[in-house]
């Protein structure tokens, strides 16, 4: 019995470690971020690679929320907030934009320029293009797809020391992974492990 409890505790510790390391939010308030184009295109905007805290490897890819705000490639910014609202315009993230970003994030849709144009279609003040991805996003949401916090907006700021100013820049999208998926898988592993040990003990 004591051995089984020790085995269970070890498995749970491994599961917890996997959940926290593999499913942590890729950035936090206060982190420094830099951006680079994934594939520059005529549309402008994303997708962008995001480099967090001086990393030489991109942590994730993102898209612009507001077409009329800007960032400078390779400039250093800081994450002011992570929420469901764009800081400058007050626009609240909707399910259609969250669905579009999820399609790109998960690899279901690789047309970065098309995703950016569709995102801008749903944000106020942006021109955007009513392309096929707009129709797909509307259909997905009409069919019951909901964001449920999986996608959020992060708001970077530029710190201008000479002016003692903090300037809000283009709001961007970030995907918040679901630790529950890893946790459920880990609990399944735990159950199989205990069952296997029980059978061997007979």
Residue 151 burial class via C-beta count within 10 angstroms: exposed 0-12, middle 13-18, buried 19 and up: buried
Task: Express each pLDDT in 145-200 by its tens digit.
Answer: 999 999 999 999 998 876 667 888 999 999 987 655 445 445 555 554 555 555 55
Same domain, yes or no: 19 and 69: no
Same domain, yes or no: 65 and 133: yes
Task: Express each pLDDT in 45-89 by its tens digit.
Answer: 889 999 999 999 999 999 999 887 888 998 999 999 999 999 988
Same domain, yes or no: 187 and 162: no
Same domain, yes or no: 33 and 17: no
What's the CA gap between 26 and 43, in Å, rounded?
26
Same domain, yes or no: 16 and 41: no
C-beta neighbour count of 193 within 10 angstroms? 15
Average pLDDT score over residue span 100-113: 94
DSSP 158-187: EEEGGGTEEEE---EEEE---HHHHHHHHH
Domain housing 182: 1-24+177-202
């Amino acid at each position: 019995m004591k051995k089984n409890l020790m085995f269970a505790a070890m498995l749970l510790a491994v599961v917890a470690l996997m959940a926290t390391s593999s499913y942590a939010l890729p950035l936090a308030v206060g982190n420094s971020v830099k951006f680079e184009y994934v594939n520059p295109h005529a549309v402008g905007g994303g997708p962008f690679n995001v480099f967090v805290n001086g990393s030489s490897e991109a942590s994730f890819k993102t898209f612009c929320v507001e077409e009329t705000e800007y960032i400078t490639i390779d400039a250093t910014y800081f994450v002011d907030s992570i929420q469901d609202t764009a800081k400058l315009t007050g626009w609240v993230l909707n399910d259609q934009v969250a669905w579009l970003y999820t399609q790109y994030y998960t690899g279901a849709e690789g047309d970065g320029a098309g995703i950016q144009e569709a995102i801008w279609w749903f944000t106020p003040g942006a021109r955007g293009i009513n392309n096929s991805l707009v129709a797909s996003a509307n259909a997905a949401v009409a069919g019951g797809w909901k964001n449920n916090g999986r996608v959020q907006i992060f708001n970077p700021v530029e710190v201008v020391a000479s002016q003692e100013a903090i300037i809000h820049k283009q709001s961007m999208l970030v995907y918040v992974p679901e630790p529950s998926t890893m946790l459920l898988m880990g609990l399944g592993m735990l159950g199989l492990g205990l069952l296997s040990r029980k059978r061997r003990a007979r």
